[in-house]
Structure 1
């Protein structure tokens, strides 16, 4: 469904206004000289680790560690290829975050490791 010119202009105007307000709202709510409220400081401290933990749980929600009934090496490698890349990437995220305390580096490093493992190692 195509938008008319008026609908497109109205949509762009609403998006621009919302974007501007999200950028200007902190400056409007907090004075320049005063410290941010304690709630904001608390959320800034606890939310990044909580978000990373939630991402790890989300990524590992469908992982099954079941062992195949036939213990052939091919069946075991096939089962491992479903959970090993995800578990290794999640471990890399935890290690990187504990080492550098950088959220972006942790998430990016885990994502790159996962993609390398899935695309090149566990083909």
Structure 2
């Protein structure tokens, strides 16, 4: 890839990224958003947490050391984070970081 092609690709990606961020404000600024958008806005964080929990727990091997301890500890850590802080973003990232640390170091 030449330098011009690289800069052109970066510019196109920046414009596309900008318009995906601005899209909701352009189309829903003067009227109530559709019910589907309100539904996604309301239930998307718990759906993401549920997907992460299912992904974490799907391959647990209870018959091999450490007997699923890392995964179960991660789920409990995420639940404790969410119940104390009540912020989905912190719960998702905190639980994921805790799980990845356990996978790497235990």
For normalisation by structure 1, the TM-score amounts to: 0.71
* Structure 2: distance between partners of 1:112 and 1:58: 15
Aligned counterparts of 2:41 and 2:85: Cα–Cα separation in 1: 18
Task: Show the counterpart of 1:45.
Answer: 42
Aligned residues: 105
Alignment CA distance shift 1:18-1:82 (3 Å)? farther
Partner Cα distance (2:71, 2:42) in 1: 27
CA distance in 2, matches of 1:103, 1:6: 41
Name the larger-Rg structure: 1
Give the distance between the partners of 2:4 and 2:104, measured in 1 at CA.
47
CA distance in 1, matches of 2:96, 2:18: 31
Comparing 44-53 with 87-96, which one deviates more in the overlay? 87-96
From 23, 27, 38, the equivalent of 1:29 is 27
Cα distance in structure 2, aligned partners of 1:19 and 1:117: 33
Give 1:41 deviation, angstroms: 1.2
RMSD: 2.2
Any unmatched runs of 5+ in structure 1?
A: 68-78
Runs of at least 4 residues of structure 1 off by over 3 A?
111-114
The aligned residue for residue 113 of structure 1 is 98
Q: SS of the residue aligned with 1:14?
A: helix
**Structure 2 unaligned residues grouped into runs of 5+:** none
